[in-house]
């Protein structure tokens, strides 16, 4: 039997644009919901033919809570009618603290959502304003406690670090606030800049960034959270099953404008990326690429080395070479190559180097 896939749904609506953000989103409006549903129905019809089953479902965005609960419900029900998502192990929705309403919470329970991810980002008012977020610190607390009262037992808080004006002290304060709330999962993302963002907010000091990266680990691991991926920490047993599908290079389907997917079609490993236009999405416009064995291998190395499990390297010669050339950045354990703290800090460069070692070995696929 084929392994179940992960399902992602991009809700492309946000009430306002955060200063650093390049995710695709538009302002909520009735006519745009109609275009969205039109495209979604097309995508569902298309994917139904494959007979995929899913065991994780992640609704992100955008801001899923920027749309009225009724619209949200209709969208999820349309998906439930078409795809096999009746036996989900994990069903997550992302929420923004200021737009989460009581009605959303009741609906999330009714729909069987069992994991909530809150976009908190910082616990300092000035920092939230600087980032262009629409919520305040009080909103985070309010949303968190309401979700707990409603019985949600698996909550993630997203935190951001590495932006101008943030200091080690202010990051430490934010982390302490998060730890006091005691969510099951914490994501700490380093702010990046991509073309299309309103402003470049990056803190351009490599040393401070490295110290922030270390501070995240020290404070969170001292409080019972284990890092299982470069930016993700969880209490034991609360690792995100959906996100692990991406890092473990498993197959997933993404629905909605700008979403992407990766699946096996016959013998072809296909990746697709949906358009970032609502009008084109309604016509299901997307781009495909077929991954070559070399591309697949490089991706495999890039993704798996992000995690605490690293990557299995079967060939002893390659393991030996990795040890010789990258011993400072890696741990070799039971046939696996795992990046240590130093390696994770420069993950992209190290994973590329591992790829080069594979290539220079003369054989392409060993994992
Ligand atoms: S960061 Fe989130 S809430 Fe802000 S604009 Fe981007 S998708 Fe919307």
pTM, two decimals, is 0.96
Domain of 234, CATH number, reads 3.20.20.70
- pLDDT, one tens digit per residue, over 80-110 is 999 989 889 999 999 999 999 999 999 999 9
Nearest CA to ligand 1 atom 7: 62
Q: Which residues of 166-197 are buried (b: 16+ CB within 10 A; e: fewer)?
A: beeebbeebbebbbebebbbbbbebbeeeeeb
Does residue 136 sit in the same domain as residue 231?
yes
- 143 with 104: CB under 8 angstroms? no
Does residue 61 sit in the same domain as residue 149?
yes
Does residue 316 sit in the same domain as residue 242?
no
Does residue 65 sit in the same domain as residue 159?
yes
Does residue 352 sit in the same domain as residue 235?
no
Task: Tally the domains of the chain.
Answer: 2
Query: Would you state the pLDDT for residue 361?
Result: 85
Does residue 22 sit in the same domain as residue 136?
yes
Rounded Cα distance, 316 and 322, in Å = 10
Does residue 214 sit in the same domain as residue 299?
no
Residues of the chain with pLDDT under 50: 366-367
134 lines ligand 1 (CB under 6 A): no
Rounded Cα distance, 211 and 345, in Å = 10
- pLDDT, one tens digit per residue, over 291-334 is 999 999 999 999 999 999 999 999 999 999 999 999 999 999 99
Question: Which among 181, 215, 246 is the end of a domain?
Answer: 246
21 lines ligand 1 (CB under 6 A): yes
Query: Would you state the pLDDT for residue 190?
Result: 96
Query: Would you state the pLDDT for residue 366?
Result: 44
Rounded Cα distance, 88 and 52, in Å = 13
136's tokens: 């305040």
Query: Would you state the pLDDT for residue 250?
Result: 97
Residue 358 is part of which domain span? Answer: 293-367
- Pocket probe for ligand 1: among 12, 15, 18, the residue whose CB has the most ligand atoms within 8 Å is 18
25 lines ligand 1 (CB under 6 A): yes
Ligand 1 centroid–CA 178 distance in Å is 20
> What is the length of the chain?
367
Ligand 1 centroid–CA 354 distance in Å is 34
Does residue 228 sit in the same domain as residue 304?
no
């Amino acid at each position: 039997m084929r392994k179940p896939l992960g399902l992602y749904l991009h809700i492309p609506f946000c009430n306002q644009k955060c200063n650093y953000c390049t995710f695709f989103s538009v302002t909520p409006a009735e006519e745009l919901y109609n275009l969205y549903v039109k495209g979604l129905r097309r995508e569902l019809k298309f994917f139904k033919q494959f007979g995929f089953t899913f065991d994780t479902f992640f609704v992100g965005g955008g801001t899923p809570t920027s749309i009225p609960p009724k619209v949200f419900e209709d969208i999820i029900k349309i998906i439930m009618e078409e795809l096999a998502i009746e036996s989900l192990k994990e069903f997550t929705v992302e929420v923004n603290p200021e737009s989460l309403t009581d009605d959303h919470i009741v609906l999330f329970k009714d729909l069987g959502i069992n994991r909530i991810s809150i976009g908190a980002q910082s616990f300092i008012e000035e920092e939230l304003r600087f980032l262009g977020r629409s919520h305040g610190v009080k909103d985070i607390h309010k949303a968190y406690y309401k979700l707990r009262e409603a019985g949600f037992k698996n909550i993630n808080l997203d935190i951001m670090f590495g932006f101008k004006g943030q200091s080690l002290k202010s990051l430490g304060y934010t982390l302490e606030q998060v730890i006091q709330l005691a969510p099951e999962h914490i994501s700490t993302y380093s702010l990046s800049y991509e073309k299309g963002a309103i402003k470049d907010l990056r803190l351009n000091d490599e040393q401070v960034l490295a110290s922030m990266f270390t501070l995240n680990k020290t404070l969170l691991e001292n409080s019972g959270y284990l890092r299982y991926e470069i930016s993700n920490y969880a209490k034991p047993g609360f690792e995100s099953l959906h996100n692990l599908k991406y890092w473990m290079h498993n197959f997933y389907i993404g629905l909605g404008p700008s979403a992407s997917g990766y699946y096996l079609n016959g013998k072809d490993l296909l990746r697709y990326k949906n358009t970032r236009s609502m009008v084109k999405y309604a016509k299901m416009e997307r781009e495909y690429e077929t991954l070559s064995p070399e591309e697949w291998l490089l991706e495999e190395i890039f993704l798996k080395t992000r995690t605490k499990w690293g990557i299995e390297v079967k060939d002893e010669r390659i393991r030996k070479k990795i040890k010789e050339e990258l011993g400072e950045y890696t741990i070799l354990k039971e046939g696996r190559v795992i990046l240590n703290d130093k390696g994770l800090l420069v993950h992209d460069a190290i994973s590329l180097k591992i790829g080069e070692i594979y290539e220079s070995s003369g054989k392409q696929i060993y994992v």
